[in-house]
């Protein structure tokens, strides 16, 4: 029986399989029936072979898996069909460049073939397969690499060409690459808003054709080229726009996210754009079948079908992996399996959607889903072996080599969030049965069972409880405080707690430094299995405030943030169309106020001053010192690029800046909070960014890492103390998380963080080891405030109900005073004592090493404080070493190193090779 006849015979079976969705989604009966796929599992590989990710998903990919260090971003199959290559996005995730796959054996031929690029994106073979081309960057310079290909498929670098700067200045950011019939290379020059035609023999850009904003994907159809403009159309009069890496892009006034998408059609003979076609928001990769071009719209959850004969959109396919699903699947690559089966990777759902497409006049039928590994980004066909090849950028998560050392006589393994293991899935062409089984797996992996229960409408006349069973039912909690801190792992802070799953040998900021975090963990629920979802601030803040991360920003993170670094905010292309928590609150008439979160700067007329100036201002504001402030409160104001933040942001509260102590932030918050108490008008949702546990390394004039973390500890302790001694304590909850945990190691996983839920309405003195992530925290906030879920991620997340109680304990919290001086500055004699406190070898060798790290910190201080301050501009691996030595001693090797190392030696490690984020000046 032919495959076609088999498909027709099983049509009924397909429909039955998809009809399972009514069972899979649940019956909206009783909330307690919702299944829990996570339990107390730790992030990582399970005995069953499944992998638990830090984004509320399991991974059980179909087919054969090929795992390797790094994060594949693009695929290409050799014209002879014998080999394929995957290109890693960046060099500091455990992989260096290309991975070559023998398709006949299904095994790697070469791993991390070096291209000497720090960021990579596009890859393509010449038509005869004798050459291979890749795009990427080294530092600030965009490049194209030309390779020769041996008969066995092994590449060797032939030439590397530098590309000119973008029109806006800085890195031109070359992305997708295709090879024209005449052998010319067509490259999407993303920051230049143009398509470059490049001679592969000389590297010369023979033509630059202006397209629209942020070109990303390229497709060639005869003498025409199609280019997806991820940043959308050029602005028109009256449009709301915001800068994205030197280009004004059109935005949605409510969410601040980009709101348009276009495809430019180029005549390759005249080298002119003949039409710009309106498609969905943030279009990316494309494929073609006959006269029809299919375009994935990552932020619209749709596919646009363009008739290439008329260059008109003739169909828009809504991508809904389950009935009535919210946005958030992120369709990002597409292939036609045969003449009617259309395959679409769903980046955020870790799946390939299989559609029965019967032409543009008929609505395509979703046949089912195939499970992939974490965050699929590209597909290719292995025609010879009848397989689908899928590149999974995040693969199986941070399961790369652990950093192992013997510390205090104990051998410990520390895991970094940067130790990424990507993967390639080799999937056999799916049968009807495969698709039905795959659909069930995808539902299980995404926790889509019982979605109707999780998102059922509230019932009338319900008695208020702390955590309502359904959104819209009343809560005894009326006020939510959401505190976002910076980058520490669980073990770094709470490893010495004496209970829970901690490793004291790698604790750097124990009880002497963080008495309040220890007291909070002992008083309120200890959450020792809680994870941040992002790897760095640019992705972390999106997860924390949106409950998701866009395909654009995930790939920006995976390719070293060459275009932009929205470490909180700063690029409208990074924002989800479903909005931020405050957008959802305002949409449903829930009052909200913001202190610092997602603000982009802090500017005023006076000289900014030093950390000591701002610390003295805190002393004066708190009544501990007399005299005038060096900057009157309100002269300096927070700036923002998201329009909806303007009306709700308290402008005198600072943004990220290591030159402003968290004690100052507390005083600004305290003043406003006390005004709310007096006026009885406290908003329901209050978001705060309390930043200084990030530290400034050993930079002179800034406090030591211990003092900065102690400052952060005391500020949070004071906030809890203030709220708990106010009239609002009786109906408040305080959620405390970090945006990411990249600045340290953890013996479980680099994403595990010290998180806290503080309220009279939570269970006291318990250890809760259930798997939670920031997405569960976002969902808990929504559940309490009566806000429907924003997207597919928080819709599938369970609120943290089991740590709440309906028998409140209104005992207020008394903040612990700092046990170390907060004004212990690097470079002072007493600071040297603190930095060398754990160093047994006080010889000149340790002192010289300490001085070298001070010099490195001083050189990078401009990225941590003042007008140029931005999260993560300083390479995380370098800063981690500086802070490790400052806390553990300059004779204690950083885990994984054989000896204490100087900055120039650490700079040669792969983890230190990524360029500074969006360094385009």
Alpha helices in 524-621 (DSSP H): 537-546, 551-558, 581-587, 611-621
Position 112 scores a pLDDT of 87
Q: Is 570 left (phi over 0), alpha (psi -120 to 50) or beta?
A: left
H-helix or E-strand containing 45?
Answer: strand 44-45
Beta bridge partners of 312: 307
CA 320 from centroid of its chain's CA atoms: 23
Q: What is the largest CA-CA distance in the chain?
A: 91
Position 23 scores a pLDDT of 42
Percent of the residues in the chain that have a pLDDT greater than 70, as a whole number: 92
C-alpha pair distances (Å), 426 with each of 102, 379, 585, 677, 785: 11, 10, 43, 60, 44
pLDDT higher than threshold 70 for residue 915: no
**Average pLDDT score over residue span 109-130:** 94
Position 470 scores a pLDDT of 97
Task: Give the span between the Cα atoms of 277 and 279, in whole angstroms.
Answer: 6
Q: What is the DSSP letter of 165?
A: P
pLDDT higher than threshold 50 for residue 824: yes
pLDDT higher than threshold 90 for residue 417: no
745-764 pLDDT per residue, tens: 999 999 999 999 999 999 99
**Range with the poorest average pLDDT among 220-229, 240-249, 359-368, 830-839:** 830-839
699-710 pLDDT per residue, tens: 888 899 999 999
Positive or negative torsion for Cα 145, 150, 154, 156: negative
pLDDT higher than threshold 70 for residue 839: no
Residue whose entry in the numeric block shows the structure tokens 């005995």: 47
Is the distance from CB of 569 to CB of 640 less than 8 angstroms?
Answer: yes
Beta bridge partners of 292: 289, 307
H-helix or E-strand containing 131?
Answer: strand 131-138
**Average pLDDT score over residue span 259-271:** 98
18-73 pLDDT per residue, tens: 444 444 454 333 333 446 889 999 999 999 999 999 999 999 999 999 999 999 99
Task: Give the span between the Cα atoms of 231 and 247, in whole angstroms.
Answer: 9
**Average pLDDT score over residue span 501-528:** 96
- Phi first, then psi: give them for residue 713, nearest 5 degrees: -60, -45
76: three-class secondary structure by DSSP:
strand
pLDDT higher than threshold 90 for residue 901: yes
Q: How would you write 706-741 as a 3-class SS string?
A: HHHHHHHHHHHHHHHHHHHCCCCHHHEEEEEEECCC
Position 330 scores a pLDDT of 98
Does the predicted TM-score (pTM) go above 0.75? Answer: yes
Q: Which residues of 274-301 are buried (b: 16+ CB within 10 A; e: fewer)?
A: eebbebbbbbbbbbbbeebbbbbbbbbb
549-603 pLDDT per residue, tens: 999 999 999 998 999 988 878 999 999 999 999 999 999 999 999 999 999 999 9
Task: Give the span between the Cα atoms of 544 and 558, in whole angstroms.
Answer: 18
Is the distance from CB of 376 to CB of 369 less than 8 angstroms?
Answer: no
Residue whose entry in the numeric block shows the structure tokens 């009326």: 478
CA 37 from centroid of its chain's CA atoms: 23
Residues of the chain with CATH 3.40.720.10: 477-550+561-803
Q: Which of 513, 481, 394 is nearest to 683 (CA)?
A: 481
Task: Give the span between the Cα atoms of 217 and 330, in whole angstroms.
Answer: 15
Position 56 scores a pLDDT of 97
pLDDT higher than threshold 80 for residue 405: no
At 435, is the pLDDT very low, low, confident or very high (cuts 50, 70, 90)?
Answer: very high
Task: Give the span between the Cα atoms of 648 and 859, in whole angstroms.
Answer: 36
**Average pLDDT score over residue span 607-618:** 96
pLDDT higher than threshold 80 for residue 871: no
Position 549 scores a pLDDT of 96
The set of residues, in sequence order, having a beta carbon less than 8 Å from that of 851 and lying 6+ positions away, is: none
At 3, is the pLDDT very low, low, confident or very high (cuts 50, 70, 90)?
Answer: very low
- Phi first, then psi: give them for residue 748, nearest 5 degrees: -95, -60
Q: Is 596 left (phi over 0), alpha (psi -120 to 50) or beta?
A: left
C-alpha pair distances (Å), 693 with each of 601, 657, 701, 739: 19, 11, 16, 12
Q: Which CATH class is domain 477-550+561-803?
A: alpha beta
Is the distance from CB of 83 to CB of 101 less than 8 angstroms?
Answer: yes
Task: Give the span between the Cα atoms of 444 and 351, in whole angstroms.
Answer: 12
The structure tokens listed for 321 are: 């992996």
Task: Give the span between the Cα atoms of 541 and 689, in whole angstroms.
Answer: 10
Higher-confidence residue of 10 and 215: namely 215
At 194, is the pLDDT very low, low, confident or very high (cuts 50, 70, 90)?
Answer: very high
Position 864 scores a pLDDT of 73
Task: Give the span between the Cα atoms of 384 and 403, in whole angstroms.
Answer: 41
| Vertex 323 angle, CA 321 and 328, to 5° | 45
**Average pLDDT score over residue span 613-634:** 97
Q: Which of 716, 712, 667 is nearest to 692 (CA)?
A: 712
Give the gyration radius of the chain's Cα atoms: 27
Averaged confidence pLDDT in the chain: 92
Q: Is 443 left (phi over 0), alpha (psi -120 to 50) or beta?
A: alpha
Higher-confidence residue of 17 and 300: namely 300
**Range with the poorest average pLDDT among 88-102, 258-272, 767-781:** 88-102
At 16, is the pLDDT very low, low, confident or very high (cuts 50, 70, 90)?
Answer: very low
The structure tokens listed for 50 are: 């499944």
**Range with the poorest average pLDDT among 60-74, 234-248, 462-476, 826-840:** 826-840
Treating both helix axes as pointing N-terminal to C-terminal, what angle do 876-888 and 705-724 enclose, rounded to 10 degrees? 90
- Concatenated DSSP letters of 799-831: P-GGGB-SS---PPP-PPPPSS-TT-BTTSHHH
Treating both helix axes as pointing N-terminal to C-terminal, what angle do 11-19 and 432-445 enclose, rounded to 10 degrees? 10
**Average pLDDT score over residue span 312-332:** 97
How many residues can be counted in the chain? 921
Position 30 scores a pLDDT of 30
Treating both helix axes as pointing N-terminal to C-terminal, what angle do 537-546 and 774-785 enclose, rounded to 10 degrees? 30
The set of residues, in sequence order, having a beta carbon less than 8 Å from that of 454 and lying 6+ positions away, is: 26, 31, 34, 795, 796, 797, 798
């Amino acid at each position: 029986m032919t495959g076609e006849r088999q498909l027709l015979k099983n049509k009924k079976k397909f429909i039955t399989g998809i009809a399972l969705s009514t069972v899979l989604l649940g019956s909206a009966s009783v909330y307690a029936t919702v299944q829990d796929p996570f339990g107390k599992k730790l992030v990582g590989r399970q005995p069953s072979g499944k992998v638990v990710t830090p984004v509320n998903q399991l991974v059980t990919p179909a087919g054969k898996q090929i795992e390797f260090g790094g994060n594949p971003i693009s695929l290409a199959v050799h014209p002879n069909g014998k080999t394929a290559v995957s290109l890693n996005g960046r060099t500091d995730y455990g992989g260096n460049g290309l991975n070559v796959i023998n398709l006949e054996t299904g095994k790697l031929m070469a791993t991390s073939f070096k291209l000497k690029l720090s960021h990579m994106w596009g890859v393509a073979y010449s038509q005869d397969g004798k050459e291979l081309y890749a795009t990427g960057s080294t530092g600030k310079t965009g490049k194209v690499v030309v390779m020769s290909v041996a008969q066995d498929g092994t590449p060797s670098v032939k030439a590397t060409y530098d590309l000119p700067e973008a029109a806006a200045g800085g890195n031109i950011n070359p992305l997708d690459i295709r090879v024209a019939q005449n052998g010319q290379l067509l490259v999407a020059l993303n920051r230049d808003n143009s398509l470059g035609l490049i001679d592969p023999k000389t590297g010369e850009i023979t033509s630059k054709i202006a397209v629209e904003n942020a070109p990303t994907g390229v497709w060639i159809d005869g003498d025409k080229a199609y280019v997806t403009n991820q940043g959308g159309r050029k602005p028109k009069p009256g449009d709301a726009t915001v800068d994205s890496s030197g280009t004004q892009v059109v935005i949605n006034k409510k969410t601040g996210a980009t709101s348009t998408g276009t495809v430019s059609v180029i005549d390759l003979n005249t080298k002119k754009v003949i039409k710009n076609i309106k498609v969905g928001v943030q279009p990316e990769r494309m494929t073609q079948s006959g006269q029809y071009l299919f375009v994935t719209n990552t932020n619209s959850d749709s596919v646009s079908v363009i008739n290439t004969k008329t260059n008109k959109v003739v169909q828009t396919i809504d991508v809904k992996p389950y009935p009535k699903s919210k946005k958030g699947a992120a369709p990002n690559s597409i292939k036609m399996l045969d003449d009617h089966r259309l395959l679409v990777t769903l980046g955020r759902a870790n799946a390939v959607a299989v559609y029965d497409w019967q032409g543009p006049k008929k609505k395509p039928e979703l046949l089912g889903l195939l499970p992939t590994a974490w965050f699929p980004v590209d597909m290719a066909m292995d025609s010879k072996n009848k397989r689908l090849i899928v590149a999974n950028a995040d693969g199986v998560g941070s399961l790369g080599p652990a950093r192992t050392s013997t510390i205090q006589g104990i051998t410990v393994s520390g895991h970094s969030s940067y130790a990424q293991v990507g993967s390639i899935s080799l999937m056999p062409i799916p049968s009807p049965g495969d698709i039905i089984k795959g659909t069930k797996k995808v539902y299980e992996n995404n926790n889509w069972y019982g979605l109707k229960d999780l998102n059922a409408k509230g019932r009338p006349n319900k008695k208020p409880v702390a955590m309502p069973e359904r959104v819209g039912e009343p809560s005894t909690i009326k006020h939510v405080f959401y505190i976002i801190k910076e980058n520490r792992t669980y073990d770094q802070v709470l490893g010495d707690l004496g209970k829970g799953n901690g490793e004291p040998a790698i604790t750097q900021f124990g009880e002497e430094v963080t008495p309040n975090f220890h007291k909070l963990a002992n008083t309120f629920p200890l959450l020792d299995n809680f994870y941040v979802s992002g790897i760095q601030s640019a992705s972390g803040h999106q997860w924390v405030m949106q409950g998701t991360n866009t395909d654009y920003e995930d790939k920006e993170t995976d390719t070293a943030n060459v275009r932009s670094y929205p470490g909180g905010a700063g690029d409208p292309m990074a924002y989800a169309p479903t909005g931020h928590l405050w957008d959802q609150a305002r949409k449903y008439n829930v009052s909200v106020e913001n202190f610092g979160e997602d603000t982009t700067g802090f500017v005023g007329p006076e000289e900014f001053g030093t950390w000591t100036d701002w610390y003295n201002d805190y002393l004066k504001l708190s009544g501990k010192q007399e005299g005038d402030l060096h900057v009157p409160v309100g002269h300096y104001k927070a700036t923002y690029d998201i329009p909806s933040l303007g009306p709700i942001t308290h402008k005198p509260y600072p943004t990220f800046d290591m030159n402003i102590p968290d004690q100052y932030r507390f005083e600004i918050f305290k003043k406003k909070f006390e005004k709310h108490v007096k006026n009885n008008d406290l908003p329901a949702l209050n978001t705060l960014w309390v930043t200084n546990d990030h530290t400034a390394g050993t930079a002179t004039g800034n406090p030591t890492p211990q003092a900065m973390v102690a400052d952060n500890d005391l500020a949070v302790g004071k906030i809890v103390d203030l709220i708990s001694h106010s009239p609002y304590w009786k109906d408040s909850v305080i959620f405390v998380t970090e945006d990411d945990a990249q600045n340290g190691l953890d013996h479980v996983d680099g994403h595990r963080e010290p998180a806290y839920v503080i309220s009279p309405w939570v269970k006291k003195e318990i250890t809760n080891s259930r798997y939670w992530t920031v997405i569960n925290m976002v969902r808990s906030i929504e559940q309490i405030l009566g806000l429907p879920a924003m997207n597919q991620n928080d819709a599938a997340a369970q609120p943290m109900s089991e740590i709440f109680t309906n028998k409140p304990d209104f005992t207020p919290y008394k903040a612990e005073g700092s046990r170390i001086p907060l004004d212990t500055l690097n470079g002072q004699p007493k600071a040297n004592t603190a930095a060398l406190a754990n160093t047994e070898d006080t010889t000149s060798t340790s002192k010289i090493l300490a001085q070298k790290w001070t010099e490195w910190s001083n050189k990078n201080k401009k990225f941590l404080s003042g007008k140029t301050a931005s999260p993560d501009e300083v390479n995380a691996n370098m800063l981690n070493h500086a802070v490790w030595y400052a806390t553990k001693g300059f004779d204690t090797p950083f885990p994984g190193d054989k000896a204490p190392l100087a900055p120039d030696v650490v700079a040669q490690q792969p983890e230190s090779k990524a360029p500074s984020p969006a360094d385009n000046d």
